[in-house]
Structure 1
Amino acid sequence: MNYYKPITYIVQPEENGWILKSVLREKLNISRRLLSRIKLTEKGVMVNGKREFISIKVFTGDRIEIHMEQETSEYIEPQNIPLDILFEDDYLLIVNKQSGIIVHPTHGHYANTLANGVVYHWMQKGENYRFRPIHRLDEETSGVLAIAKNPYVHQQISEQMINNQVKKEYVAIVNGHLPDLEGTVNAPIDRDPEHRHLRIVTEEGYSAVTHYKVEEKYKSASLVRLWLETGRTHQIRVHMKHLGCPLMGDKMYGEQNETMPKVDRQALHAAKLGFFHPNSREYTEFTAPLPSDMQSTIGCLKRE
């Protein structure tokens, strides 16, 4: 049986004499469901190199290792698709996703996705992981995207997102000028009852909060930096439209009378992603430079 690289933890002085289960739950935040899966494996939870029951006591300096059996992405066909890798270790893969590529295979679209390229990349390295994107980016959105290499890493960063501990920063080019140079959009979002693939701002929707800051103003557009407090589908696109400034090139949420955009996709880029690494527990940020099509668009806007 093959295992992922173990998650490790050194028992701290203030945890001396704790029950192992308490350390796993309170310090490593392992969910009951995941812990049940780990306990069923041959290695399970080890203390100082020895397989142990989670009912034992642990002491200062003890080394705890959590072992998880490897899973595969057998249903994803490996394809040699170029990847812009920003970071990779035994626990995470961080890529700069290009616009025009779907993250995960969907019904009727099984090939030429980011997942196909990632599985191929791992295969070339002689590694085998299940493809676990921690979050999603729309097909046309470029930028930083994180992929977990085991279920614990996925669980931990997902919980950080729920607890608003993950920093997600975007850059967008919007049509027109926002009402303020800095502001917050607190407007609930839900599906459009008439067009189920679209989202709208509605009082009956789910809480959605977007913070923004105008970086530059042009004659007919603005360069905006945005931070998400929540992660609703199409949140930035819907909130910018709600303010009367839809994203340039956005075919779904752009105004009907919008002039021909200077970029052929929604001008949205995930510029920065920050979170606490689940193994080192240190805060880490990853950044992706503004793509060439958005840089060219900004150049055109400056010359208007």
Structure 2
Amino acid sequence: MKIELTVTSDKGIALQEYLKENIGIPKSLLHELRMSKEVKVNDKIPVWTLPLQKGDILSIPFLKETITPSATQMEIDVLYEDEHLLIINKKAGIETHPSSEEDTASLSNGVAEYFVEQEILAKVRHIHRLDKNTSGTILFAKHALSGALLDREMTVRKIKRTYLALVEGLMDCSAGIVDKPIGKDRHHAARRRISSNGQKAVTHYKVWKRFPKEKLTLVELSLDTGRTHQIRVHMSSLGHPLYGDTLYGASVKQERHSLHAWKLTVPHPFKEDVITVEAPIPFDFGPRTLAALIGKL
């Protein structure tokens, strides 16, 4: 398979520089593409140092790769798919990627089996990750070129992620911004904490609904940054830890914390479309007494 792109610049940039600067292909992948001798300009093998002309047609192959990690049979919930990318609704209780070569129970292992079944000869590339006990939308690339361009979109924050969280207590403010740096907790390897020496972290929140009887609040959140445990740390810092998140001060323990990657918006790397998908709120998101109500919001 291949992708065809039309040169839009009239600056006479060489093929090597055009693919790097205009398309965003990293140096390592450029080398692989060049060595493959399958890249073509106007259906001919190009001289990589010669300038391109506006209107030239570039043909870039999807390089065949060994499927990794190891494949594991697993039921996966596909929310969106085309030949370039895959968006999955992750269940809580499963890691995004394996923690070791012996670990074969992660979502990435399940996607590897899906690739085998679909005869997609590519490494499994998750463009972002979710904590083990966070459910919802997660984005995978289906070939190296797509992975490189989606990584670039993630780096410059073009890919937008919106979360829902059920937090302890009744929040007073209907909306707000938490701008507090986050660093590692030297007393607890698995925790993060607010730290003046930490990395900048900004979280926007908006209250959806308060539940006075249960003393819980349903909140929508979006991130300007993507720090480890960012939402969990920031909400806890406000005195409203996620329901079930005892690592960050919740008073009630459940099998998962109540955080769900509800919406994902992705500018398509090869088309002018913007893909937006929503993952239904799962039944195990919060207390059983609220599950049906939350699911209808």
TM-score in terms of structure 2 length:
0.90
Counterpart residue identity of residue 201, structure 2: A
Cα–Cα, structure 1 residues 145 and 300, in superposed 2: closer, same or farther, change >3 Å? closer
- SS of residue paired to 1:238: helix
Q: Distance in 1 between the 2:101 and 2:249 partners?
A: 27
Residue 203 (structure 1) aligned to one of 193, 196, 206: 196
Q: CA deviation at 1:52?
A: 0.8
Cα–Cα, structure 1 residues 21 and 182, in superposed 2: closer, same or farther, change >3 Å? same
> Do 1:83 and 1:95's aligned partners in 2 also have CA atoms closer than 8 Å?
yes
Q: Specify the alignment match of 1:11 in structure 2.
A: 7
Q: Does 1:279 align with 2:270?
A: yes
Q: Specify the alignment match of 1:158 in structure 2.
A: 151
> Do 1:38 and 1:68's aligned partners in 2 also have CA atoms closer than 8 Å?
no
Q: Can you list the C-alpha shifts for 1:191-227, whole angstroms capped at 9, x where unaligned?
A: 1011121100010000111000000011111000000
Q: Specify the alignment match of 1:241 in structure 2.
A: 236
Q: Distance in 2 between the 1:108 and 1:249 partners?
A: 30
Q: Can you list the C-alpha shifts for 1:95-119, whole angstroms capped at 9, x where unaligned?
A: 0001111111113861222122111
Percent identity of paired positions between Structure 1 and Structure 2: 35
Consecutive unaligned residues in structure 2, runs of 5 or more: none
Residue 290 (structure 2) aligned to one of 289, 295, 299: 299
The ranges of structure 1 where at least 4 consecutive aligned residues each deviate by more than 3 angstroms after the TM superposition are 16-19, 295-298, 300-303
Q: Distance in 2 between the 1:282 and 1:96 partners?
A: 21
Q: Distance in 1 between the 2:150 and 2:132 partners?
A: 22
Q: Does 1:47 align with 2:38?
A: no
Q: Distance in 2 between the 1:228 and 1:160 partners?
A: 15
> Do 1:178 and 1:244's aligned partners in 2 also have CA atoms closer than 8 Å?
no
Q: Specify the alignment match of 1:227 in structure 2.
A: 222
Q: CA deviation at 1:281?
A: 4.3
Pairwise mapping of residues 46-195 of structure 1 onto structure 2 (< 5 A)?
Answer: 46-74=40-68, 76-107=69-100, 110-195=103-188
19-28 vs 294-303, greater mean Cα deviation: 294-303
> Do 1:218 and 1:302's aligned partners in 2 also have CA atoms closer than 8 Å?
no
Q: Can you list the C-alpha shifts for 1:109-161, whole angstroms capped at 9, x where unaligned?
A: 61222122111112122222211111110111100001112232222222222
Q: CA deviation at 1:16?
A: 6.9
Q: CA deviation at 1:46?
A: 1.0
Q: Distance in 2 between the 1:298 and 1:226 partners?
A: 23
> Do 1:105 and 1:115's aligned partners in 2 also have CA atoms closer than 8 Å?
yes
Kindly report the root-mean-square deviation, in angstroms, between the aligned alpha carbons of the 2 structures: 2.2
Q: Specify the alignment match of 2:257 in structure 1.
A: 266
Corresponding pairs, count: 292
> Do 1:210 and 1:236's aligned partners in 2 also have CA atoms closer than 8 Å?
yes
Q: CA deviation at 1:295?
A: 6.7
- SS of residue paired to 1:245: coil
Counterpart residue identity of residue 57, structure 1: P
Q: Distance in 2 between the 1:117 and 1:286 partners?
A: 21
Consecutive unaligned residues in structure 1, runs of 5 or more: none
Cα–Cα, structure 1 residues 35 and 50, in superposed 2: closer, same or farther, change >3 Å? same
